[in-house]
Amino acid sequence: MTSLGLPFQITASDGAARRGRLATAHGVVNTPAFMTVGTAGTVKGLTTEQVAATGAEIILGNTYHLMLRPGAERVAAQGGLHRFMNWPGPILTDSGGFQVMSLEELRKLTEDGVTFRSHLDGTPYDLTPERAVEIQALLDADITMVLDECTPFPATEEVARHSMERSMRWAARSKAAFIRRPGYGLFGIVQGSIYPALRVKSAAALREIGFDGYAVGGLAVGEGQQAMFETLDVTVPELPVERPRYLMGVGKPADIVGAVRRGIDMFDCVLPTRSGRTGQAFTRRAVLNLMNARHRDDPRPLDPDCPCPTCADYGRAYLHHLFKAKEMLGPILLTRHNLHHYQQLMASLRQAIEAGRLEDFVAEFERQQAEGDLAPL
């Protein structure tokens, strides 16, 4: 790789949906892509080999958590996050803005950045746009995110405007601090809550600065699916066609399918891993609660058409037993299945776009979701 930044090639399209390839220093990401969340340098319960076996090509780490523990400089001394956690593929790091903003009483927001106290031990920290970019460079992230202020929801239009404008100033400072090199890139983040005019203004400001990719932030925070889709309908057309588009923190399979139809290329969400730890399994027809007594005598796999090791080797009755007995194997098996399910969904979306049959895929997806889980045998 000789060119600076992140080469992105759109290989097929179907309506607004795109099929692409994003080249990074640590490998190619096929889009639409779901980024498995490994917040603190680990996808909870799984080895990186198991994560890769689900079909994942890229994972997400988090600046806030890694700067607190073990520390960005310590990770850099170990050769960077790829070597530290034994993940050879691409890594995107969230700048930590969302986590810092959620601290509320523990943080103070100024034009310079955010001063906050660690939720672990109360140690004070300063996080500026420049420091956020520096930390992500120390982690050796292929994709660095600008530091932004995640606007709370709900927010008045005036509050959202001030928040968005500050984020745009921070985006310019993040760009100035970022050191360009082959295979590495910086993404800007569109803010503006659910206000169309603010989203358009934010996108224009980011285009003027210029980024390797454009994220849509501040959604999936309680506004509901319809408002999220309406915001995407306004925002996505304002983003450069030739650059990847990333919808942050989304989401449920139906959210992902709807966003792909609207031209989004990249996603991340803790839902498949968090749900796996709490006994919830995603299938083509339903979200199953394995704690439910109806599964205790059911020998069927979670999904008879799923090729993952969990579905191939274990039945619902056994998984129900593991969760009722609080055995650690239960969350491991369910997390592995959920991640595989999400990656299968992304692969199916890519195939549908390539074949020009995305609307047929969406119709079948919605039919299966409406059908629900089959009655136990």
94, 142, 212, 255: the active-site residue: 94
Cα 99 to Cα 95: distance, rounded to the nearest angstrom: 9
DSSP assignment string, 348-365 = HHHHHHHHT-HHHHHHHH
Find out whether 101 and 107 touch, Cβ atoms under 8 Å: yes
Give catalytic status of residue 265 as yes or no. no
What are 49's strand-pairing partners? none
Cα 172 to chain centroid distance, Å, stands at 23
Count of other CB atoms within 10 angstroms of residue 122: 8
Cα 114 to Cα 126: distance, rounded to the nearest angstrom: 6
Find out whether 144 and 133 touch, Cβ atoms under 8 Å: yes
14, 268, 298, 303: the active-site residue: 268
The two tokens of residue 136 are 């992500």
Cα 189 to Cα 166: distance, rounded to the nearest angstrom: 12
Residues 6+ apart with CB under 8 A from 211: 146, 171, 175, 185, 186, 187, 188, 243
Question: Residue 307: exposed, middle, or buried by beta-carbon count in 10 A (0-12, 13-18, 19+)?
Answer: exposed
Amino acid letter, residue 362? V
Give catalytic status of residue 142 as yes or no. no
Q: Which residue's entry shows tokens 């202020």?
A: 149
Q: Give the active site residues.
A: 94, 268
